[in-house]
Structure 1
Amino acid sequence: MPPLESSEIKDRLSATLTAAQWDRLGYRKRAGVAVPLFSLYSEKSQGIGDYTDLTLLADWCEQCGLTVIQLLPLNDVGFNFRPYDALSMFALEPMYISLRALKGVDAKEYSRQLKSLQQNFPTGSIRVNYTVKSAKLELLWTVFLSRNWDTVDDFKLFLEDNRFWIDDYALFKIIKQYQGDKNWEDWETPLRQRDPGVLAAFGKAHTQEVAFQKWLQWQAAAQLQSAKQYANQKGIYLMGDIPFLVSRDSADVWSRQEYFKLHLASGAPPDAYSAMGQRWGMPPYHWEAMAAKGYDYLIHKLKVAERFFDLYRIDHFVGVFRLWTIELGESLDRGGLNGRFDPADESLWEEHGRRLVEVMRQATAMLPCAEDLGVIPHCSYKILDKYGILGMDIQRWNRDWAQTFRFKAPEDYRFKSIAVISTHDMSSFRTWWEYEAGTVDEEYFKRKCEQRGMDFGWFKDRLFDPVSGLPGRLHWKPEIDSADRLAAIMGRPVHELKEFTELYSSTYAEPVQFWDYLGLPQPWKYGFSNRLGKAALAAINRSASMFSIQMMQDWTCMSRIYKDIDFSTYRINAPGTVSDENWTLVLPISLEQFLELPEK
């Protein structure tokens, strides 16, 4: 299919229900970068990237011709440091505040402390040292105490504009601190059940500490708004990531318990990429209770976000239609295996999702985009199309799964989509090619064997190479060169082994098929090369998708900055795992050094 002309793009998108949002952004194809703020740093950063560093990222985007910056959630995560498990859907993470750019503060007065902070928390490591948060908060407390902020008009206006959430949030933070960081469900009954008299007395006894939490939010908001304004002046737009769910142990759940089904935990059902499914733990929404209040929580969440972002990514978009839920009493080691969808009645899904999407559309001028991955109900595609919401087409997953398993040609990507090489929940392109392409998830194969009463160990020895690959990834032996050969070893007819033969067909020839997709001459070659990286980027950028947004490490995969990186472990997050390395990845060089790179 030939590329669409700009007039055709406008005609298609202006006919959707988000025409007003598209009018504001412009009817044109765009390229952008996706990166967590914790992965960035500048020469002025104190141990971790901060909101003001986004201006340098905007400079880099301008150099590269990129017009979208997609960020991971920037909400306050407390001390758990999991961006999709926030303490609030409204509050920003104070760890990212720049102490050199505080409103109403002369940074020169704290030059000694700032220098000490940078010395104690140097940047340049491959992993974040999150203890910097406590150190930054300690210095911010000192700054806060240096003057009376109650008379600052801008601060008072900020509090008025955020009255829907900020009082409960600030009180929650301080109660939690005095409760030894215990989950709010383990607090004393009057605090847990929000006894008005007890809460008022606590707030009065801790007036200054509660005010500090509000002051932090004022400072964070000012810095992020300033970064957005700087980027917008360069024609660059910020895309925020709006988590669909909020932490069970959050100010939002504590202050609005009636909006959540606290006897359940959210998750995802098993699939080919997560054999056990997932159990995230966040409580599902009680939509009926929220609807009775006019969806005020959902609307205010978006109203706050649009101060900082021009577009927003709806995380777990399929959850808008139905959400996988697990009873709290289920064993944690069962993951998401024993769950059910809510609503359970599939006939309700489309209208349920349409109603929520319509509320979101009317609530904000931001353009919505959707993370529509996983097990996807058919109605999701219908709503995305009707509303002009861009879904996600992932290069390594965008294939003809029904027949040939070949990769879809770039021109066959969805027009209303964002073309992506990898996400924060996936391995980077280099890691995928060097360690995962052509392999099978061991846990998934094991579970399929167990479901059939087959001896996994026996088949593993006969089907897979015992030495090559990453832990948890299985490489087919070269002699398993057909589905018939696979069936012969498994001792059953091909038609009885559909799940196994499909798994084989989608993985055994994967490298060969990807090489063909890129238009590179066979035979394909092991190992990453600049030629391969350039071909993958070229293919994704000529796709039919409206946007091409790539992780920073994929845009720069051919750079010499990665020469000492071990790509077997170089990823942002491994879903379904608990690891000290999740959400800690830092890019190898500073933003100033990125600006000096010759490869752009």
Structure 2
Amino acid sequence: MKLTFRIRYRTVWGENLCVLLNDDETQIISLSTRNGDEWQGSFEYIPVGSNQLVTYRYAVYRDNICIRKELGAISHLFYLGNAQQNHYVIDDCWRDLPADSYRYSSAFNSIYTPQSYNKLSDSVGSCITFRALCPELGNRNQALGLIGSCNALGSWEYCRPLRMQEVRPNVWHITLDASSLQLPFEYKFVAINAESGAVEEWESRPNRLFNVQPLQRGETYLPMETEVFFALPARKFAGSAIPVFSLRSEGSCGVGDFGDLKTFVSWAASTAQHVVQILPINDTSITGSWTDSYPYNSISIYAFHPMYIDLRQLPALADAQFASRFEEERARLNALSVVDYEAVNRLKQSYLKEVYRQEGENVLKSDEFNTFFADNRHWLQPYAAFSYLRDLYGTSDFHCWEAYNKYDEEEIQQLCSPESDAYTFIGYYYYMQYLLHVQLLAVAEYARRKGVILKGDIPIGISRTSVESWVEPYYFNMNGQAGAPPDAFSVNGQNWGFPTYNWEVMEKDNYLWWRRRFAKMAEYFTAYRIDHILGFFRIWEIPTHSVHGLLGQFVPSLPMSADEIRSFGLNFRPDFMLRPFISEYILNTVFGEQSDYVRETFVRPLHHDLYEMRPEFDTQRKVEAFFEGKTDSESIWLKEKLYALISDVLFVADRNNPELYHPRIAVQNDYIFKQLAEQEQEAFNHLYNHYYYQRHNEFWYHEAMKKLPVLTQSTPMLVCGEDLGMVPDCVSWVMNELQILSLEIQRMPKAIGREFGCLNEYPFRSVCTIGTHDMPTLRGWWEEDAALTERFYHNELHHWGEVPKHAPGWLCKEIIEQHLQSPSMLCVLAWQDWTSIDESLRNPDVQAERINVPANPHNYWQWRMHITLEELMQADELNDAIRQMIQSSDRNTAC
């Protein structure tokens, strides 16, 4: 059969417009043009197998390289017609993201049920296929219809429209017998009642006119796809953010689980909330200690943490004595105010192993498991083998394993074979991941039925000793550490310790690693948060010899040469500007009574009254090693001061070219900066502002646009970005272009010169919140800085008189109501902030509600709800207040 594509698209000399055929873009069809504006091309198409669906996108190539491609998760598509149809003539227009593309996401649409496409009978000789995009009709019990001036289109009679078919979520088609249509004719798209078929709403635009040359037998004509708009109100929702591990119920096992998450979804829906946001739930079992409680350092981007299995959904234990001992310990752990991570996981693992001995063999033979295994084998098998070997050798650092320390797919398949001696142990990890999949999928389906958006979290980094680092090391740079530059969370920056990504390698397979990761998330979630979205523009990479983040540099970036530095009026002196500045005055001022000890132990004379670090202490890691095991306050204080001494440099050499340089971040408060003359300080500040706020905008924009369109449009999930910190202008350019929701926090304003953000100015495409898991709760923040709180009380809330020392319930409620009234599409508040309005119910211990302290690299993630979910469901006064606030803010429309 023949396909003819026709499209108008303005190009410049040297550019060529192509059609990328099928979702995997296996065929590239070049079009031709006479004027650089009107493009056309025909070719013979042979369907693959029995596939009757043709999908395609348009792309622009220059020198055989794709430089631009249509955006959006929805590709152009059409179905092949009856047996007579042998030529498809397709008129198109270039299509990027649909207007209000969030409406097309799975967060805003009911579960879509695929249907076979209705073909016309083989007796029909020529056809016309109308194609349209129109979201959310299913939520209103409607379908898209076509009505027009000729009899075949109902002659404008509201009871006779033609009903279109939803061939993909929000994509509507109808194929008509061309001979039944009297040309020319006028028509409109209409919203019709899904049951009666009558018109309920008309397009609010002039009639469309259809007039083409008569079609030949065997031809199917497809006019341009149309975006259809009806008078849809803005969709705004409210919801709660809470880690799964923090959930507490009467039957949980000292930690929240997927059964508790389902109950929490019920509570949210009962209070008119339509969003539940959680932290990452991936397996973090690295050391077997409490340090594994950090949810952003997983050993697998696919596998879930076994502690989230709801044991209540498993068969009862046959061993009565074991069951009795378990119940006693479960009750003890569940009564604790915080998560005892180590004890909880020991207990749950013992229970799971006992159930596995009872039930595992039958489960692993079931059809349901075999389907799960077939769909997930590419990650499940390496994960199970990794977990077995981690347990066998007592470490997740695969470099230390006696065998299998380098991944070999064939060897691992043999290890995982049912005939292998290790299969019983490996099957245990298959079994656990299957249970987690089944339970989380049940929560996801339940949330959809309740009209609740389940929002997941995708961490920016992976562990150095993870399955991915073992299996696919070529995707990562192991000689650097990912982190964040200094911000309100941490004055020394954050060092997460993760390897950075080798984007050049990832680009070669069109970011397959990421697309698989997002696809797995989409099985369960209808929205997700991209942790540290700035990492897709550039990542703050810290050398492995550093502990703090101050000596890092952005990757990729554009370093400066010595001549360029001098062009800013700064005399570049490598011997002074690239090494720590250490003087007698600094030693005496910083170290006081310890200064002589520092002179004798850590530094040595250089010249005059200047010093340098001794070679055995010239990096922060070397200093860290010296103080290992010393936990007294004096040792910790001295270690931190030495770290600061080492980072007191004006420039950092580029990681790839030591002849190029980066100005050190946040150096203006350090001693070396104060050694500069006033004119030199002004020159440095000019250079610094240019480098960090102007130099990279276009460069980083293009870096992000290589990756984010591919990733964000690979699934139908609603995309939210965590865009906090040192945010360059190009971030908002990309997020607006790709319609990614931003994160807005009043106490972290994005406008320069403001102390607090203006809620009324938040963009619609945003998530507003009072604080994140990295920040104190509303009540905690209120008590942190009395002067700041006073300014907020008087200048933002416009109250008079004495400021309450502790935030009373009425004040918390007022702040929440203001956030609910903001223009933001989503208002997602920490559960602790919701409960703050009820003084009789909220946690009396304000500080106990803090989840994470980013400045503390050894934070124990163990916060739990102080009441049970059963008590929460019965808290009528609180629940009524939440419901009333949400309804008053027009955020109670179901998804």
TM-score, normalising length: structure 2: 0.55
Counterpart AA for 2:476: F
Alpha-carbon separation, structure 2, partners of 1:536 and 1:401: 23
The alpha-carbon distance between structure 1 residues 63 and 182, as it changes in their structure 2 partners (threshold 3 A), is: closer
The alpha-carbon distance between structure 1 residues 48 and 262, as it changes in their structure 2 partners (threshold 3 A), is: same
Partner of 2:785: 436
Q: 1:120 aligns with which of 298, 323, 329?
A: 329
The structural deviation recorded for 1:329 is 2.3
Contact 1:73 1:241 in 2 (8 A): yes
Alpha-carbon separation, structure 2, partners of 1:114 and 1:388: 52
* 1:204-245 Cα shifts (integer Å, max 9, x gaps): 331111111011101001001101111221111200011121
Other structure's SS at 1:265 match: strand
Contact 2:338 2:862 in 1 (8 A): yes
Partner of 2:428: 212
The alignment's C-alpha RMSD in Å is 2.2
The structural deviation recorded for 1:578 is 3.5
Larger Cα-atom Rg = 2
Structure with more of its chain in strand, by fraction: 2
Partner of 2:375: 161
The structural deviation recorded for 1:540 is 0.9
The structural deviation recorded for 1:193 is 1.8
Alpha-carbon separation, structure 2, partners of 1:19 and 1:560: 38
The alpha-carbon distance between structure 1 residues 519 and 541, as it changes in their structure 2 partners (threshold 3 A), is: farther
Partner of 1:240: 456
Contact 1:266 1:326 in 2 (8 A): yes
Contact 1:395 1:540 in 2 (8 A): no
Q: Is 1:573 matched up with 2:852?
A: yes
Counterpart AA for 2:353: W
- What pairs up with 1:45-444 in 2 under 5 angstroms? 45-78=252-285, 79=288, 80-102=292-314, 106-107=315-316, 109=318, 113-114=322-323, 116-122=325-331, 123-130=334-341, 131-147=343-359, 148=361, 149-188=363-402, 190-195=403-408, 199-200=412-413, 202-203=415-416, 204-330=420-546, 332=547, 335-345=548-558, 346=696, 347-398=698-749, 400-402=751-753, 405-436=754-785, 438=787
Other structure's SS at 2:388 match: helix
The alpha-carbon distance between structure 1 residues 113 and 261, as it changes in their structure 2 partners (threshold 3 A), is: same
Alpha-carbon separation, structure 1, partners of 2:512 and 2:293: 27
Counterpart AA for 1:177: D
Contact 1:265 1:282 in 2 (8 A): yes
Partner of 1:24: 109
Partner of 1:15: 99
The structural deviation recorded for 1:14 is 5.0
The structural deviation recorded for 1:561 is 5.6
Other structure's SS at 2:720 match: strand
Partner of 2:872: 594
The alpha-carbon distance between structure 1 residues 167 and 108, as it changes in their structure 2 partners (threshold 3 A), is: closer
Partner of 1:471: none
The alpha-carbon distance between structure 1 residues 579 and 114, as it changes in their structure 2 partners (threshold 3 A), is: farther
* 1:241-272 Cα shifts (integer Å, max 9, x gaps): 11121111111111110000011110011134
Other structure's SS at 2:284 match: coil
Alpha-carbon separation, structure 1, partners of 2:370 and 2:509: 27
Indicate the percent of aligned positions where both proteins have the same amino acid.
31
Structure with more of its chain in helix, by fraction: 1
The structural deviation recorded for 1:63 is 2.2
The structural deviation recorded for 1:572 is 0.3
Alpha-carbon separation, structure 1, partners of 2:746 and 2:249: 31
The structural deviation recorded for 1:124 is 3.5
The alpha-carbon distance between structure 1 residues 118 and 368, as it changes in their structure 2 partners (threshold 3 A), is: farther
Contact 1:430 1:567 in 2 (8 A): yes
Alpha-carbon separation, structure 2, partners of 1:28 and 1:437: 37
Counterpart AA for 2:444: K
Counterpart AA for 1:413: Y
Contact 1:69 1:236 in 2 (8 A): yes
Alpha-carbon separation, structure 1, partners of 2:321 and 2:272: 39
* 1:94-149 Cα shifts (integer Å, max 9, x gaps): 111011213xxx33746764553342133132210112112211221121122423
Counterpart AA for 1:565: P
Partner of 1:550: 829
Other structure's SS at 1:121 match: helix
The structural deviation recorded for 1:569 is 4.6
Counterpart AA for 2:765: K
In structure 1, the gaps of 5 or more residues are 1-12, 439-506
Contact 2:843 2:866 in 1 (8 A): no
Other structure's SS at 1:192 match: coil
The alpha-carbon distance between structure 1 residues 111 and 525, as it changes in their structure 2 partners (threshold 3 A), is: same
Alpha-carbon separation, structure 1, partners of 2:751 and 2:398: 47
* 1:149-201 Cα shifts (integer Å, max 9, x gaps): 3320000000111122111111111111111124123334x522224565455
Contact 2:541 2:554 in 1 (8 A): yes
Other structure's SS at 2:489 match: coil
Contact 1:435 1:568 in 2 (8 A): no
Q: Is 1:524 matched up with 2:803?
A: yes
The structural deviation recorded for 1:362 is 2.8
Other structure's SS at 1:549 match: strand
The structural deviation recorded for 1:279 is 0.5
The structural deviation recorded for 1:273 is 3.4
Counterpart AA for 1:92: F
The structural deviation recorded for 1:562 is 5.7
The structural deviation recorded for 1:297 is 1.1
Alpha-carbon separation, structure 1, partners of 2:752 and 2:246: 34
Q: For this pair of structures, how many residues does the alignment match?
A: 509
Contact 2:489 2:855 in 1 (8 A): no
The alpha-carbon distance between structure 1 residues 196 and 594, as it changes in their structure 2 partners (threshold 3 A), is: closer
Other structure's SS at 1:142 match: helix
Alpha-carbon separation, structure 2, partners of 1:564 and 1:93: 28
Contact 1:260 1:284 in 2 (8 A): yes
Partner of 2:173: none
The structural deviation recorded for 1:75 is 0.5
Alpha-carbon separation, structure 2, partners of 1:563 and 1:58: 20
Contact 1:85 1:246 in 2 (8 A): yes
Q: Which has the higher contact order (CA 8 A, sep 6+)?
A: 1
